[in-house]
Amino acid sequence: EVTKRSIRLETWQKIKDQKLTPLRRFSVFNKIPNYIGAEKAAELLAETEEFKKANSIKVNIDLAQEPVKLEVVKAKKTLFVPPAQKSSNVYAKIKNCNPDEQDLATQKKIIKLQGEEDTFQEIDMHGIEKLDMVVVGSCAVSRQGHRIGKGNGYVDLDIGILTHLGVITKDTLIVTTVHDVQVYDTLPENLFQTYDLSLDLIVTPTEVIRVSKRLPRPAGIEWKLLSSRRLEIVPVLKCIKEFEEKSGKEIELKAEDTDVESYQQKSRQNKRSFRRNQSGQRRRRRSDRRTSEKQHNGDADSHDEGGEKTDGEAAEGGKPGGGRPQRKNRYRRNTRRSTNNTGESAAEKSEGEEKAGGEKDAGDGDGKKGGRDRRRRERNPKNDKKGGRVERDLCIRVTNIARSMRIKELKQELRTRDCNPNFITWNGYHGKCYLHFPKKPDQSDDDAGAELLKQLEDLTLTVTPREKEGGGEPKQITLKCEIMKRKEGGGGDAQTATNGTVLEGSRIETTDVTAV
């Protein structure tokens, strides 16, 4: 069965499949689609005689119609846009938007009502002006002038309000700009009601379609199709209703807004269906994972040479693969733990004790942990940590670092001085960094520090200020270097030789400069 909804879905799918949207990371469904070529369609509309004759033009808020607003501003015509959300006014009039004095970014802010307060004026039902042209967005249109929107009915209602207030007359043209794939030769007549608006002009990036015979338009507001909740959504309706009732007219509303109810109900049903599908997929993945684990355990834990049963067979009275495997953790636990265990690990056991312990010790949790840490240290002996910090022999603090300075500039200067630290702890944002050096076994801390300070004497770098800091000419900056003395008791931490402050724990960047 052909319905408005099926036509919308067909159109949205064509736009998606043909990749006609400029921002593909956003969905085109359930909205007036933006499309590639909207600027070309707006330029083509601006070249028509109908546009040139019009003085007051109202353009809807859809993104695909934003180029049309810019063309209206460029032509220095009076532009009207919908008012702010939940406003009781009819529309907003754009003011003080001069394309000769303002750049494109400022113009876009103004036409979206995001500019200064003096760039727009909202007009109520008592100060309205007639319109020569109204430009709306569409999901699908026909060459006979039929239009299908995104399904909420707000554009049809807006046209009915403007017709009721006399803003839209028989001389007002209703125009839309769409992509060529949104244009149908014909659409079924039985899909359209008396409140559906019709079009006079359809503009695509490649052609201008003029409707030869105008279809019936909404005669005004059909109160019997509106509920009290719809009046809360569109405040101007409430103002019109109160004005009409004061003049003695009786207005009867619909008891229930069935269109909105059904729309919300479908949305909730779709969300529940999506959650059920997601839950079913997770259950299937867990089941598949357990099955694969059972098969793996069955292959790996088969009967040994002595004919003993596996753990699963023993648990289930001899049934193969009987025991339900323990579910693995979905997320990896934090592995940054201290290796100072109170219990004796397998790494600390003697070789003879490990052999005597057999499978019992191999399966112990502490043994696994100790073995893992031992293997890690064997792979990279530099990473043997004590107290959470890699031990370094000597540390020199470098201060007076400019924010625009880069660590690579410091590395280049250190290379020229034949000064090769093991690590550089960079905290340039706060104007400092730390150089970590190895020390010869037979050399004292004082001698090694004095030798390094001599190498780093008069450490000067050329820095060019960044543009966001004002720019300027390159300048010479002399860095200050001082030795960091160890804390009493060791532990790899250090303190300054002057004020005794420990290395700061703010956000820093540690760089391995072994290649230096």
Q: Is the pLDDT of residue 308 over 90?
A: no
- Taking the alpha carbons of 356, 361, 362, 366 in that order, is the dihedral positive or negative? negative
Compute the average pLDDT of residues 197-221: 93
* CA dist list (Å): 513 to 394, 414, 460, 472: 15, 11, 20, 31
3-class DSSP state for residue 151?
coil
393-483 shares the fold of 4-210: no
For residue 195, give the DSSP letter. Answer: T
Helix and strand element counts for the chain (H, E): 14, 21
Tens digit of pLDDT for each residue in 161-206? Answer: 999 999 999 999 999 999 999 999 999 999 999 899 999 999 999 9
Contacts 24+ apart (CB under 8 A), 6-9: 7/139, 7/140, 7/148, 7/184, 7/187, 7/191, 8/139, 8/140, 8/148, 8/150, 8/151
Query: Any idea where the domains of the chain sit in the sequence?
Result: 4-210, 393-483
Q: What is the dihedral of CA 22, 28, 31, 34, to 10 degrees?
A: 20
The backbone torsions φ and ψ at residue 500, rounded to the nearest 5 degrees and listed phi first, read 75, 15
pTM: 0.53
- Taking the alpha carbons of 196, 197, 203, 209 in that order, is the dihedral positive or negative? positive
Chain CA centroid to CA 370, Å: 42
Average pLDDT, the chain: 76
Q: Is the pLDDT of residue 472 over 80?
A: no
DSSP string, 473-498: --EEEEPEEEEEEEPTT-SS-EEESS
Compute the average pLDDT of residues 381-403: 64
Q: Does domain 4-210 have CATH number 1.10.510.10?
A: no
Tens digit of pLDDT for each residue in 94-147? Answer: 988 888 888 888 898 898 888 788 888 899 888 889 999 999 999 999 999 999
For residue 175, give the DSSP letter. Answer: E
Tens digit of pLDDT for each residue in 266-304? Answer: 555 555 665 666 666 777 777 777 777 666 665 544 444
Instruction: Tell me the Ramachandran region of residue 458: left when phi exceeds 0, alpha when psi lies from -120 to 50, beta otherwise.
Output: left
- What's the pLDDT score for residue 199? 95
Compute the average pLDDT of residues 224-253: 88
Tens digit of pLDDT for each residue in 350-378? Answer: 444 444 444 444 444 444 445 555 555 55
Q: How far apart are CA 187 and CA 177, in angstroms?
A: 18
- Taking the alpha carbons of 63, 42, 155, 188 in that order, is the dihedral positive or negative? negative
Query: Could you tell me the pLDDT band of residue 491, with boundaries at 50, 70 and 90?
Result: very low
Across 355-364, 455-464, 500-509, least confident range: 500-509
Query: Could you tell me the pLDDT band of residue 56, with boundaries at 50, 70 and 90?
Result: very high
Tens digit of pLDDT for each residue in 330-342? Answer: 555 555 544 444 4
Q: How far apart are CA 77 and CA 395, in angstroms?
A: 70
Q: Is the pLDDT of residue 312 over 90?
A: no
Q: How far apart are CA 343 and CA 167, in angstroms?
A: 86
- What's the pLDDT score for residue 258? 62
For 393-483, CATH number?
3.30.70.330
Q: Which token pair is 215?
A: 């279809």
